[in-house]
Structure 1
Amino acid sequence: MNRTSQFALLPLAAMAILLSGTASAAPKPKVSKTQAEAIALKAAPGKIVESDYEKEDGIWRWSFDIRQGKRIHEIGIDAITGKIVESSFENPGNKD
């Protein structure tokens, strides 16, 4: 097999991995984004400037960056239980 044909097989190999189920899809959260936003804003009043549904430290959670004046308050909400799993501050412009 020549070099060109080896490279032509790479997209097929990637597709086979994706179809085999080795790529994990995000599970459907039990706590909706709207419910999680309400929990987050009750804990940290302000304006949500960014939100994500992400897996962090082994759990799926909603993450909200809430602007409070000149600081950003990050609130993480467990997507299964609705409990706050993170409450921290970051400087504007910082990404974790």
Structure 2
Amino acid sequence: SIDQARAAALAVQPGQIVAEELEAEKGGSGLRYSFDIKASAQTHEVGIDAQSGKILENTVEGSHPD
């Protein structure tokens, strides 16, 4: 569920979620939750596989996020 994905994202990257979405993605189960998490002065993008709950991405967004 999105609640479980949200908790997993915050476990790997503590902060405040400023954006979230369910995206179609190649690989994995085909769906992932994407969270933008603000921590200090940086925003991190954390991707969670919608079916397995596996962390797919944990990166710092640049000055031009997509």
**TM-score, normalized by length of structure 1?**
0.62
Moved over 3 A (4+): none
Aligned partner of 2:55 in structure 1 is 84
Which structure has the highest helix share of the two?
Answer: 1
Compare relative contact order (CA 8 Å, sep 6+) and give the higher one, 1 or 2: 2
Aligned partner of 1:95 in structure 2 is 65
Aligned partner of 1:36 in structure 2 is 5
Give the fraction of aligned pairs with identical amino acids, expressed as a percent. Answer: 47
Displacement of 1:95 after TM fit? 2.2
Displacement of 1:56 after TM fit? 2.2
Q: Distance in 2 between matches of 1:79 and 1:35?
A: 9
Displacement of 1:87 after TM fit? 0.9
**TM-score, normalized by length of structure 2?**
0.88
How many residue pairs end up in the alignment?
64
Q: Is residue 50 from structure 1 mapped to residue 22 from structure 2 by the alignment?
A: no
Structure 1 unpaired stretches of 5+: 1-31
Across the aligned residues of Structure 1 and Structure 2, the Cα RMSD in angstroms comes to: 1.2
Which structure has the highest strand share of the two?
Answer: 2
Which has the greater radius of gyration? 1
Structure 2 counterpart of 1:56, which letter?
E
Q: Deviations over 1:17-65 (max 9, x none)?
A: xxxxxxxxxxxxxxx1100000000000000000000012342000000
